[in-house]
Structure 1
């Protein structure tokens, strides 16, 4: 069997101050069958100049206006040729330079391979363990920076652009309905930069989560449970 090819995608817009570190993080991975794609939303701050510095290490990059992060990620899915696609967007980093190598050695070519996340806030870092899949009615089981998904599944389950923040949660449910096989790997996959996430974003995310969970769960009592859970989450944030 040929060695599994992983497409790593970085989506960026005006990230000149942080993209170089993300690029270096990708090209320093010890795994040696990586396709690296960068999709830039038409940056005007020098981002493209930094990308050009590393063109020999980048498989493909393009720059054009988009409709937001999920639109850019959909473009990357359609450009990718790897067996798996992994999103490491600007400002985020792999947990170690052996991350991809460690993940692949623990997998059996499952459709979705996911793990844990190191979440970096302004003054701290914390480890967010992936949630059990049976709790998916109330949360995304994994951070989208901590999952590898087979390209064949993503091509048929692109991000729904009607969701501004929680399109990854909606996509998870679509993958589940597509009978994707999920594999948990007990590894910290990425360091996710949470500094730009505002309380306003959090409220919109919870609103979108509520609708997605209701859409994908049946039963009167289950729907009451979902509504109550998200109502409490939204309102307890105010206290």
Structure 2
């Protein structure tokens, strides 16, 4: 248990204490006690648990005589089960950092990351307490080796667990931590994010320059060694030692606080955003109306179906995002599964502007899509889920693209990620279509996907209702197998919403992954492991990273994107 110590941001501690008058600090993963040292004079009680015997004994010696610091040698869920009831009425800052890593002398129990067990052990969270979870990057996307992916919870699982603890808290991901904080401290947290969030571009350029300078020095040393040594065995040994020293020097940066922080930021910049569903703190969407020609020479009839079930909180926003497109030849049908919330009320409110709607029990989303599309006749087809959005101007962009590319059967665009309040929390910028990547994984944003009815009928004319999660990927593969020509529009066409009432991560883990493996088995003839998948899609992700970085630079400079 424990990890290389980056500790908790003292600015975050200071701001939370001021907003909440926190009295108690609880840490999982003591490591060498650096976090305790940071907060030892700020809390009346400090609790910390460490599974590694060596690090526990080191911390005991370090804080001998500090009676308000209580150290325990145990696994973190067991410690939380003891501490949770005792601290249930106190104002507590929980710092959950008991994630196993490959650092020397660290320990793990049956799971490398018992985070969900820790949250469950804490129980209900009072309105004066806050939870800070370190290493957010490892939950927002599958962690790299040596971390075992199956032992690490997804971001959705963490969010679901946190929301079950309290309805009086908000959630924010900032500076590589997940913060679950009381609503009354919302302004303080927003100020923290704005004041202390890292400027990615400046950080990246600074570290890049430092690395280049250091690399030049190392290269000079290696050249000198090469020239002075004639024996190849000795030369290899010297170079090996030099490289190890180089690695050791950079490994030690993790203990240098601010420098380590920037290095971690650089690592996050270089990671693909594709597959990452919560990338930054919520902010206003900056997408405006597209500059499109609304007087097209030809307006193909576009048919859109919205499958829905108990999405009364969001469905009106979905409906208006389509109707407000002001596209003159639109056929829009809503197929509801017998919702018991306010969905039907909303549908009645808009029924004069809809082509039709129905509310009746169904077997799931796939059947609802089939039922809805069977009642349409448009040349261009799509579905939009009842919590997602079409962005302004999207239908004119799509119609114009199909008009100018009569050879294209299927087209899709880029994606924005939004939260419950329509605030932007991420983006997916795709590097164009790649038929080979489609065999390994599906990065096509479904809410931006449109196709011609001719290819729909050629590919079978229906969604495979045996799929609950991967029906869109299955359809794309069938389009490809039917000879479809794909196109990609390099604009944001839709927004995918992340919220607590989505299909749960446990369902995705149990059913969604099985469905994806079904498709891979059908297409590839076997189910590849994650290493093989990453290798196959690596060139595609490199192109994505380059395009995403270009977008960030151009938007930062105020250039047209």
Matched, 1:138 2:436: no
Return the index of the structure with the highest Cα Rg.
Answer: 2
**Corresponding position of 1:150:** 452
**1:64–1:29 Cα change, 3 Å:** same
Which position in structure 1 is the counterpart of 2:528? 227
Contact 1:206 1:230 in 2 (8 A): no
The match for 2:426 among 109, 121, 126 is 126
Rounded Cα–Cα distance in structure 2 between residues aligned with 1:55 and 1:197 = 27
Relative to structure 1, the CA distance from residue 157 to residue 174 in structure 2 (aligned partners, 3 Å threshold; closer, same or farther) is farther
Tell me how far apart the structure 2 counterparts of residues 84 and 69 of structure 1 sit (CA, whole Å).
Answer: 20
Whether 1:170 and 2:474 are equivalent positions in the alignment is yes
Q: Indicate conservation of the 8 Å contact 2:380/2:451, yes or no.
A: yes
- Deviations along 1:164-223, one digit per CA (max 9) or x if unpaired, are 2112111111111111121111111111113225322332322221220121125xxxx4
Q: Return the alpha-carbon distance in structure 1 between the equivalents of residues 454 and 359 of structure 2.
A: 24
User: In the alignment, which residue of structure 2 is the partner of 1:16?
Assistant: 312
Q: Distance in 2 between matches of 1:168 and 1:106?
A: 21
Are residue 207 (structure 1) and residue 514 (structure 2) matched? yes
Counterparts of 1:23-62 in structure 2, within 5 Å, are 23-62=319-358
Q: What are structure 1's unaligned runs of at least 5 residues?
A: 234-239
Greater RCO, CA 8 A, separation 6+: 1
Give every structure 1 segment of 4 or more consecutive aligned residues whose post-TM-superposition deviation is greater than 3 Å: 121-124, 230-233
CA distance in 2, matches of 1:11, 1:230: 35
Match of 2:414 in 1: 116
Q: Distance in 1 between the 2:328 and 2:434 partners?
A: 31
1:232 deviation in Å?
Answer: 8.3
Cα deviation code 1:66-89 (max 9, x no counterpart): 110011001112111111112111
Residues 98-120 of structure 1: CA distance to partner in whole angstroms, max 9, x if unpaired? 11112222332421111111122
Whether 2:400 is the aligned partner of 1:105: answer yes
Shift of 1:2: 4.9
**Residues 1:92 and 2:388 aligned together:** yes
Q: Distance in 2 between matches of 1:213 and 1:174?
A: 13
Q: How is 1:70-89 mapped onto 2 (pairs within 5 angstroms)?
A: 70-89=366-385
Say which is worse superposed, 13-22 or 126-135, in terms of deviation.
126-135
- Give 1 or 2: higher helix fraction: 2
Assess if the C-alpha contact under 8 Å between 2:390 and 2:448 holds in 1: no
* Contact 2:299/2:399 (<8 A) preserved: no
**Whole-Å Cα distance in 2 between the matches of residues 86 and 230 of structure 1?**
33
Indicate how the Cα distance of structure 1 residues 68 and 102 shifts in structure 2: closer, same or farther if over 3 A, else same.
Answer: same
Shift of 1:31: 2.2
Structure 2 unaligned residues grouped into runs of 5+: 1-296, 535-561
TM-score (norm: length of structure 2) = 0.38
Match of 1:237 in 2: none
